[in-house]
Structure formats: C-alpha cells, structure tokens
Chains A and B, each alone.
Chain A
C-alpha cells in the first residue's frame, strides 16, 4: 500500500485549509467581537471580508452573520495551533483598530475572545489603551512590544552600518561608508535589486541611508521590499508594503507594522513614530479598493512567511543587490499581486500613481530642469 507524505513548506507541515463552514464560523466570531452597538461598520466589513477572501478564497458577507460567543469560537478553533489562533485575534484587533472612537465595550469584548482562544497578545492591550484614550501609553507599548523587543532578536549585521541601532527609527548621525555603499547601487545593471532601490531614491529625491538626512539603515530595509513587492511610496503604498512585511514575519509581532500604519494613516491614534508622521487628510483604509489591496498584502506576506520563513527586516539585501529583482522574488517566495489588488488600483513602485503628490512634484520639476 502506498503511503503519502504530507506536503511541507519551510520544513513545517502544511495546515489544512479551512473549509466554508470554518471560515464562516470564524467570521461570525470576529464580527461579533468587533461590532460596535450598531453592528459592524462598512469599513470593518469590507476589510475583514477581503482578508478572509484573500487568505481562503471563500467569500463571507460580514454584514449578515449570526453572532458567535467566545467559547463557541474557541471550540471551532480548538484543532488549530497557537500561531493560527493568534492570527485570528490579530484580525479582530485590526477590525477594532479601524474604529475611532473605539468603544471600550468593543475592546473589552475582543480581550474576552482572545482569552477564550488562549491567546495573550500585546496588541489586544494596545487596542484597550486606545479605547480608554491612553494614546501616548499605547504608542509606548506598541513601540516597545512590537519593534524594540523584536529588533533585539533580529540582529543588525544585515544593515551594514557602524552606527548604533538603539533606536531603530531615529538616525544616529552620518555613516559615509554606508552612504557610499548605497550610492554604488547606481552602477549595477538595470533590473537588479540594488539598481532598483537606487532608482527609487533617485526618482523621489530621497537622501540615501548613511546621509544625516536619510533614513536609518534599519528603516531603509523596507525600501528594498518596495522594489521586491512592487508597491508605491505614497501612503496607500506604505500601508500595502507594511501589511505585506508584517505578515511575512513568522513572529506574530510583525503585526505591529500594520497596527502602526493604521494608527498613522487612518485613525490618527499615533501622532509621530520618528519615521512617519500622522496624516489623516484622507482615511486611507476607507479609500476605494484599499480593503482588497491590504488584504492582498497580507496574503502575499503569508506566502513569504510559510515558504521563506524569515523576517524581511532581517534579510541581507546588500548580498542580494546584484541579482535581478525577479530572482530575488523567487528566493523570498514572493507571490504575485492578485488580480483584485491590481484592479483596485495597487500601483507599482515606478508608476506615477505610486508616488505621493510631493514625490510627483519633485519628479516633474526635475524632468523640466533636465529638459
């Protein structure tokens, strides 16, 4: 009799995909947990529905679900591991983080669901702080729990900087060697990762890492991901790239990235991170098509997490800089953008629509100057 070996990814057995019944029941639990008094909002429903669809291929109408209590949801998920249940809790947290105001009753309810699922999660606590109005403490908590502690485990060799990285977001001064290293990417052949990231900086007039006016070497890591995942650099592109990076991290703490960007660019709970400042002139999650674009970023990140299994901030992109971007995508197992995301306006890095107004203005003025 023939035997079969379960398929594996990244050395771990593949989880069985949830069926329609499980996806619907989980959706009921999430919707019940995050619903304000008047029921789930349009933004919550659109985002959670798009995420469920992107991750499972199953459509669920979040506006039309029967309630499900915490214990019932725990029973549905009892066969799933801690990581899976924590990701479900993160979907709940995302569902509450898009609310402003965030009613304390919702934050307390999500905490009860997390407890029933056996998940002790810092982001649940962050949401509770938002709900009580403790925005300063919430950011301190998010920064410490999501970034600083995480960086302590990531290491910094891949950054190729001699500057201290005590604070990953605040430039610690100039590092001429690092700046020269980035400037040298200009000499690489077109289509390589290094040349791509240099062109991105050049087209937008960004100061290079290592320059006192440039980003920290740590933060600059995400710029390589803009090239690899082909996301723009306006606020919507940043939301996409960090939805992708956060979910690509095998450590669920990666959710801190998306949680932070939602606070910056949708609800305004966060004022200034040191790398981005609050901008809620447009509610970017509510913008047309953004629910599909964020959901697709999460789906693509999940693919990387399962196949490549390394935090994208821990990758030595300098060692990959000479390779064609397409080859780097294969190395990192980056899935292609979905049809839904593209149809919803997900712009590429070098598309004009992928630039902010200011970046477009810079490109236009430069084009005029150079004739």
Chain B
C-alpha cells in the first residue's frame, strides 16, 4: 500500500486565538531545527459560523519508507516536548480538546 500522509485534527474552544497561533509558530520553529522528523506543518482554522471554535490540523509525512506517516505521528506524540506543548495548549483553551486522526487520500498537485 502506498505510504499516505497523516493528519491529526484538534478541535477546541478558545477566546485567545493569538496565543494559539503563537504556540503553533513556536512549535514550528522548534521542529524546524530539531532532528525530529515526520511533522510537515499545521493549520489553525477558525469556524466562521461558530465564533470561538477552532481546529488545528497537524500534518505528518513519510520520512523512512518503512515507517508510515501515522506511525511517525504516534512517535511524535510520545515525545516529552509534544506533551509539554499539549499542556500549554490546554492552558489557553476552554474545556477539553477533541482529537481525530486521518489518513490522506488525495492532495492537489
């Protein structure tokens, strides 16, 4: 089976989107200069119809042809810095975030 990219979607409510964006940018800067691979990037999206509701989509790709993108993401989840980041996110959102996992089936170009 072809190696597919993987995405994790985190849904949450929040009244401080700037802090979420700052947190996402900080994560990117940290990932970019670390030897940790697999993470491609993320989107922070706001729901136009439901103010205060957000999703964060983190994408993962194949680094080692023998390891799927989903496995790379799970490895990433197990890292202490990821847990630390999740704790920071939890501190700026309302209630509990919900997580969903997706395999990518298609991407434009």
* Number of B residues with CB within 8 Å of any CB on chain A: 18
Q: Which residues of B contact A145 (CB under 8 A)?
A: 33
Cβ-based interface call for A136 (8 A): yes
Asked whether any CB of chain A lies closer than 8 Å to the CB of B32, the reply is yes
- Chain B nearest CB from A208 CB (Å) reads 34
Query: Bound complex: CA of A108 vs CA of B35, how far in Å?
Result: 13
Known: A125-B35, A137-B41. A132 touches B61 (CB 8 A): yes
A132 near B37 (CB under 8 angstroms)?
yes
Contact across chains for A144 and B63 when beta carbons are under 8 A apart: no
- Check: A134 CB closer than 8 A to any chain B CB: yes
A128-B37, A132-B37, A132-B38 known; A137 and B28 CB under 8 Å?
A: yes
The dominant DSSP class at the A interface is: helix
Q: Confirm or deny: A57 has a beta carbon within 8 angstroms of a beta carbon on chain B.
A: no
Which residues of chain A are near B31, meaning CB under 8 Å?
137
Known: A125-B35, A137-B39. A132 touches B62 (CB 8 A): yes
Min CB–CB distance A110 → chain B (angstroms): 13
B29 at the interface (CB under 8 A from A): yes
Q: CA separation between A125 and B35, bound complex, in Å?
A: 7
| Chain A 38-52 near chain B by CB (<8 Å), digits 1 or 0 | 000000000000000
Q: Please determine whether B65 and A140 come into contact, CB atoms closer than 8 angstroms.
A: no
Distance to closest chain B CB from A61 (angstroms): 29
- Which residues on A sit within 8 Å (CB–CB) of B41? 134, 136-137
> Chain B residues with Cβ under 8 A from A107's Cβ?
63
Quick one: given A134-B40, A137-B40, are A128 and B63 in contact (CB under 8 Å)?
yes
Interface assignment of A129: CB less than 8 Å from any CB of chain B: yes
- Given the contacts A125-B35, A144-B32, A145-B33, A133 and B61 also touching, CB distance less than 8 Å: yes
A48 to B32, CA, bound (A): 28
Q: Is A131 an interface residue (CB 8 A)?
A: yes
- Asked if residues A134 and B39 are in contact (CB atoms below 8 Å), the reply is yes
Check B18 for interface membership: any CB of A closer than 8 A.
Answer: no
Interface string of A107-139 (1 = CB under 8 A from B): 110000000000000000100110111101110
- Return chain A residues, CB-CB under 8 Å to B39: 134, 137
Chain B, 24-48, contact with A by CB distance < 8 Å: what is the 0/1 string? 0000110111010111110000000
Identify B64's interface contact among A104, A129, A138, CB under 8 A: A104
- Would B29 and A140 count as touching, CB distance under 8 A? yes
Indicate whether A105 reaches chain B with its CB closer than 8 angstroms.
yes
Tell whether A104 pairs with B65 under 8 Å between CB atoms, given A128-B37, A133-B5, A136-B41: yes
Task: Please give the distance in Å from B76's CB to the nearest CB on chain A.
Answer: 13
Name the residue in A128, A131, A137 with the highest tally of chain B Cβ atoms < 10 Å from its Cβ: A137
Question: Which chain B residue shows the least CB distance to A137?
Answer: B32
Given that A137-B39, A137-B40, A141-B33 are contacting pairs, would A132 and B28 also be in contact in the complex, using a CB cutoff of 8 Å? no
Given contacts A133-B5, A134-B41, A137-B41, contact A108 B32 (CB under 8 A): no
Is the beta-carbon distance between A144 and B61 smaller than 8 angstroms? no
Name the residue of chain B whose CB is nearest to the CB of A138: B32
Q: How far is the CA of A136 from the CA of B28 in the complex (A)?
A: 9
What is the chain A residue whose CB lies nearest that of B32?
Answer: A140
Top 10 closest pairs, chain A to chain B, by CB: A132-B61, A140-B32, A134-B40, A141-B32, A137-B32, A105-B65, A133-B61, A104-B62, A136-B41, A144-B33
Q: List 13 A-B contacts (CB under 8 A).
A: A105-B65, A108-B63, A128-B37, A128-B63, A132-B62, A133-B5, A136-B41, A137-B39, A137-B40, A138-B32, A141-B32, A144-B33, A145-B33
**B binding-site residues for A, Cβ under 8 Å:** 3, 5, 28-29, 31-33, 35, 37-41, 61-65
